[in-house]
Amino acid sequence: MINNEANLLSPFTFANGVQLKNRIVMAPMTNFSSHPDGTVTEAEVNYYARRSKGVSMVITACTYVTPNGKGFHGEFAGDRDEMIPSLRQLAKGIKDQGAKAVLQIFHGGRMCPPELVPNGEIVSASDIPAENQDVKPRALTEVEAEEIIQAFGETTRRAIEAGYDGVEIHGANGYLIQQFFSPHSNRREDRFGGSIEKRMTFPLAIVDTVMSVVKEHAKTPFIVGYRFSPEEPETPGITMADTLTLVDALANKGLDYLHVSLSEFFSKPRRGVDDVNKSRIDYLLETINNRVPLIGVGSIYTAEDARKAFATGVPLLAIGRELIIDPDWVQKVAEGREDEIVTKIDKDKQEQLVVPDPLWKAIIHSPGWFPGI
């Protein structure tokens, strides 16, 4: 870990020996821009390449591990070996610019649009619909849950074969892995449900499977990270206390990093802890206690925002929307041109910013998502 005055552009080395050239990572963001068959588009590769020069590591948008896990229109696929050339194209686009390429792997569970999955059948841990959604998912059988766990391993093997430097297991943002951990979406009475320990069975089994695949197939050190959301608004739902229990278990798994999903870096817990004035990041760092690096994230736009975030003790920082607004953010900080950093999206600069049409339309038509819209 690093001290409070750490230079955000200093190198960082994971426990497995992989070195990052600085502490700034591109956060995973859905871009809606792949072909309908799940292969990446040229526009998508160009978008990533444009943002891969300054940052040390790029975490891609999520890629689905089974056909019934596709969560977004225009999402790229990792569910079959035929996708390896497509995945390789994206990894090369990122790595050629000097950043490490990390493939985020996921299953959408009950959040998948019915029109994107076979027979329109939505699956989850239990048959509980998401709040404000009418679609009732079908509860996965134990055998099916096991098959999905193995599918995460198979997609990891494909990532290795496609030349990625690592994978990030997407256990955040209400998707299937989180659905198994959440008391809202998991009402099972088998080994995958019930107590918090049983609700951790599915996520921890995925971690174990991915790690064993890496051990078997990776010829060089390969990064494995895990992303999580600290709380859910629903009752029952994941509390900060639940997440600290999960994080405590994850911190002992030999992962290369944990990555919290936050919209605001300094946000405070909603419930489940004594001191709600202490930030979620502070609670997480305290629980992790230097066992594994934590990537922080959430509305970091200026270099000063980044410095304040690093002052908490996080060793790595992910930046998302700001790298769409200003792909040269890291270079400007490195060259002492912080005052030139752009923090509001310029609606007239889609071409210069190299943003694919579907993502640009989503940004322009979502007031409040990006500063300047």
Catalytic center residues? 175
At 305 the three-state DSSP class reads: helix
Element (H, E) at 145: helix 142-161
What residues have CB less than 8 Å from 350, skipping those under 6 apart?
A: 360
Distance CA 83, CA 201 (A): 29
Whole-angstrom distance, CA of residue 366 vs CA of residue 115? 22
Could you give the CA distance from residue 230 to residue 300 in angstroms, rounded to a whole number?
Answer: 18
* Alpha-carbon gap, residue 344 to 32, rounded angstroms: 21
The letter for the amino acid at 91 is A
Half-sphere exposure of 136 (CA within 13 A, CB side): 2
Sign of torsion over alpha carbons 268, 271, 277, 280: negative
